[in-house]
Structure 1
């Protein structure tokens, strides 16, 4: 739920990598290594608290002497979460590097039924703060998708959610308005993996210059119709405001004037319970249209290749795309804990080739929750993904080389793999050691293949 990866620049070969595992700032490197080891040891040491008979405390700081319970009864639920991601590249890039990035989130949900007698209504407020460094940039990995998904969109404080939600007719109609993140409602997907290819709302991974995932929010409204026994249909309207959507903006939004258009996503969701075991599934089919004007990625304003003329790119009115998002549980080994078992997922997105530098992405994989009877809260994840650079962009790169204006790398597709083990050390601490392999970073053979060893840690305070 982060900014999209950028087109990778060719890195040098592995022969040019310094014979060191630290950047010039060795003190920072040693501190990051220490943090990596400390977090892993802490999660291992605490793993005994997550046995079948003890799920552990739900939050690190507990109930605050029953104050949290009293607040909840009054209609106020406070949230404080922390996510950190460590990543080290033993292969690929221009140097061995250990990079650390994190995010703090502060949230509150106000139940207006309890607070003010407004039935089926609530307000959500969330502020986030991001810090740290990004291995994809620090080690010049050249990847299209970041190997630390939590990095990006400005290392700053940000107003991420501030919306009002009202349900009508016993939940048949659901309306939301305010500051919304588009990925919380459309093409939404979990974020257990550390590589961005497998995390969050997929359209934001390939057209992140206008489909803004968490933590960026927009003035928006979403209307959802729930269909009993089938699923739902929903649509939304999200303001496209280039000045307002500065990725480095601080917590409070600017004046919402100056809109350049509106993005309108539509999604149908089928939520079946399959077989005698009634295993839950989620099948989403969506599309979007953005009314803004954008640059063509190949043609100039005279219809010629921009890479050869240097003239302004041609204007294209409207941007669009479509996606599917499937998640299905296929096994349930424990009748007493329906969350345990194997689930399969498939995400695929295409975007219009006139304006999109990356025009498609597909990701598929599995998540197994509760792999062992003594570890019912742990999970295992395995995923494979392909991110494709628009052939029209590659055509421009070929023309540059043919004209003797290169050499530049000609891009095609990047392939990513990730395997993680999610260790639910306590009820409030989840640690996910992972290993990533990126084949053809940036979609070009000019970059060495990348291996990343990572640790994603989530703490609920």
Structure 2
């Protein structure tokens, strides 16, 4: 499964509506790098830079200003997460997992006089173990930080170049890119610890043609901003047949089996309403992968391949589509995220080859300005996930034949899967500059989308700091 890098409260880094160190949708899946997403949805896709990001150790004794003057924007952040299930689930357990992330953006205009050219690179360290496995739920991952690379010293997340044209209204990105960091992205969703919609939604991010952070695909993205409030974005990516694109450490980019393509498109509208400039972000998109994928249930004649032993039926191509939004309802400060914000969306995938058919969510996030805690944040979220009828038939066949359940894109299966609901609430405390501590509660109805284990109540916490 995919894990995002959760770091600092995005509110703490959105104090100014004129912040121009924000970026596209979105190079970094993190609150430490959250301005990447905030900026793009505020003013449209622009060339990214980490200039202005707060750091626990200030300007590093003068080193940060020197680096920025020469075109180097460096960010290092730490995230540690703890989770435990109070009741329900496969086992009663508690887990600690964490990550250190380092990012380097280079402005080649500052460095070498090449106008509008940037390069981006993110490398992460992962440590700990999976809470989802001990809980018995691979459908939704309450713990955000562990997954898609396990315990690694240095995992390559992304490495790509970016060139801007026509006063930043057209931007071309080429290289090794997490596709879900550009398409179907919602930075506000990463305020929550549950990873299912941070920041790219399930089911789209768990299939080869739409790999999300920290996995990527070789390819390119073209972004066009016709007006200040709209954008059109398209991408073409080489599809890797491997579970871990680039291997578990991410550095083996040119793996065997490459050749098929995933084509993605997204349209976005970013209005501001009324005197208070209540910002909204609305997007609709889809992608199509022309690879061949096996049917989750059917053999070549449409019967259970487990029962007949005949070769599986293959489908040429698969699709995923989405609608997502966030809208500020009440403003209580000057920053991009200073206010009560509603967010929600829906994502769908082709159910005969993808185990999760659809996913819907709705939530509210509020900053602490209203109670004089401007760096704090509070939120609630509801998610509903339906597994495909095809995968349910496969699992019913396994049960009838007395065979083990087959794993799917979501990992291990413990029973016949149908649907799952997740309820989540959190409060994030701003401790000091660039540092937060978050308390989180989740209630999982039908963990793993089955009735095998009892409903689970989960408590968690995360500590994040941006050095």
Tell me whether the two structures share a fold, i.e. TM-score over 0.5.
yes
Q: Work out which of the residue numbers 128, 138, 142 in structure 1 matches 2:137.
A: 142
Q: CA deviation at 1:209?
A: 4.4
Q: CA deviation at 1:399?
A: 4.1
Q: What residue is the counterpart of 2:217 in the other structure?
A: 218
Describe how 1:86-235 pairs up with structure 2 within 5 A. 86-138=82-134, 140-155=135-150, 156=152, 157-190=154-187, 191-203=190-202, 207-235=206-234
Paired residues of 1:237 and 1:264 also in contact (CA < 8 A)? yes
Q: CA deviation at 1:247?
A: 7.0
Q: What residue is the counterpart of 2:21 in the other structure?
A: none
Q: CA deviation at 1:231?
A: 0.8
Q: CA deviation at 1:372?
A: 3.6
Task: Say if 1:226 and 1:82 are closer, same or farther in 2 by CA, change over 3 A.
Answer: same
Deviations 1:290-331 (A, max 9, x none): 011111111112321223223332111101010011011110
Task: Say if 1:204 and 1:405 are closer, same or farther in 2 by CA, change over 3 A.
Answer: closer
Larger mean CA deviation between 104-113 and 141-150 belongs to 141-150
Q: Is 2:349 aligned against 1:351?
A: yes
Describe how 1:234-313 pairs up with structure 2 within 5 A. 234-243=233-242, 245-246=244-245, 248-256=247-255, 258-313=257-312
Tell me the secondary structure at the aligned position of residue 178 of structure 1. strand
Describe how 1:8-157 pairs up with structure 2 within 5 A. 58-138=54-134, 140-155=135-150, 156=152, 157=154
Paired residues of 1:84 and 1:101 also in contact (CA < 8 A)? yes
The 2-side partners of 1:447 and 1:243 are apart by 31
The 2-side partners of 1:278 and 1:342 are apart by 13
Tell me the secondary structure at the aligned position of residue 286 of structure 1. strand
Q: What residue is the counterpart of 2:367 in the other structure?
A: 369
Q: What residue is the counterpart of 1:325 in the other structure?
A: 324
Larger mean CA deviation between 221-230 and 265-274 belongs to 221-230
Q: CA deviation at 1:175?
A: 0.5
Tell me the secondary structure at the aligned position of residue 197 of structure 1. helix
Task: Say if 1:352 and 1:221 are closer, same or farther in 2 by CA, change over 3 A.
Answer: same
The 2-side partners of 1:312 and 1:458 are apart by 49
The 2-side partners of 1:405 and 1:315 are apart by 22
Tell me the secondary structure at the aligned position of residue 68 of structure 1. helix
Q: CA deviation at 1:100?
A: 0.9
The 2-side partners of 1:403 and 1:218 are apart by 38
The 2-side partners of 1:246 and 1:172 are apart by 31
Describe how 1:405-416 pairs up with structure 2 within 5 A. 409-416=415-422
Larger gyration radius, structure 1 or structure 2: 1
The 2-side partners of 1:136 and 1:257 are apart by 30
Task: Say if 1:206 and 1:414 are closer, same or farther in 2 by CA, change over 3 A.
Answer: farther
Q: CA deviation at 1:159?
A: 1.3
Paired residues of 2:378 and 2:428 also in contact (CA < 8 A)? yes
The 2-side partners of 1:209 and 1:452 are apart by 30
Paired residues of 2:218 and 2:253 also in contact (CA < 8 A)? no
The 1-side partners of 2:194 and 2:176 are apart by 27
Q: CA deviation at 1:161?
A: 1.4
Tell me the secondary structure at the aligned position of residue 337 of structure 2. coil
The 2-side partners of 1:179 and 1:455 are apart by 32
Equivalenced residue count is 408
Q: What residue is the counterpart of 2:28 in the other structure?
A: none
Deviations 1:317-363 (A, max 9, x none): 101010011011110123x4453110000121000122111111111
Q: CA deviation at 1:404?
A: 6.7
Deviations 1:131-174 (A, max 9, x none): 11111212x43341111121111222221111111110111211
Q: Work out which of the residue numbers 410, 428, 432 in structure 1 matches 2:434.
A: 428
Paired residues of 2:84 and 2:458 also in contact (CA < 8 A)? yes
Task: Say if 1:244 and 1:341 are closer, same or farther in 2 by CA, change over 3 A.
Answer: closer
Q: CA deviation at 1:401?
A: 4.5
Task: Say if 1:454 and 1:279 are closer, same or farther in 2 by CA, change over 3 A.
Answer: same
Q: What residue is the counterpart of 2:37 in the other structure?
A: none
What is the TM-score when the length of structure 1 is the normalising length? 0.83
Paired residues of 2:208 and 2:241 also in contact (CA < 8 A)? no
Q: CA deviation at 1:384?
A: 0.4
The 2-side partners of 1:64 and 1:277 are apart by 36
Task: Say if 1:427 and 1:316 are closer, same or farther in 2 by CA, change over 3 A.
Answer: same
Q: CA deviation at 1:121?
A: 1.6
Q: What residue is the counterpart of 1:455 in the other structure?
A: 461
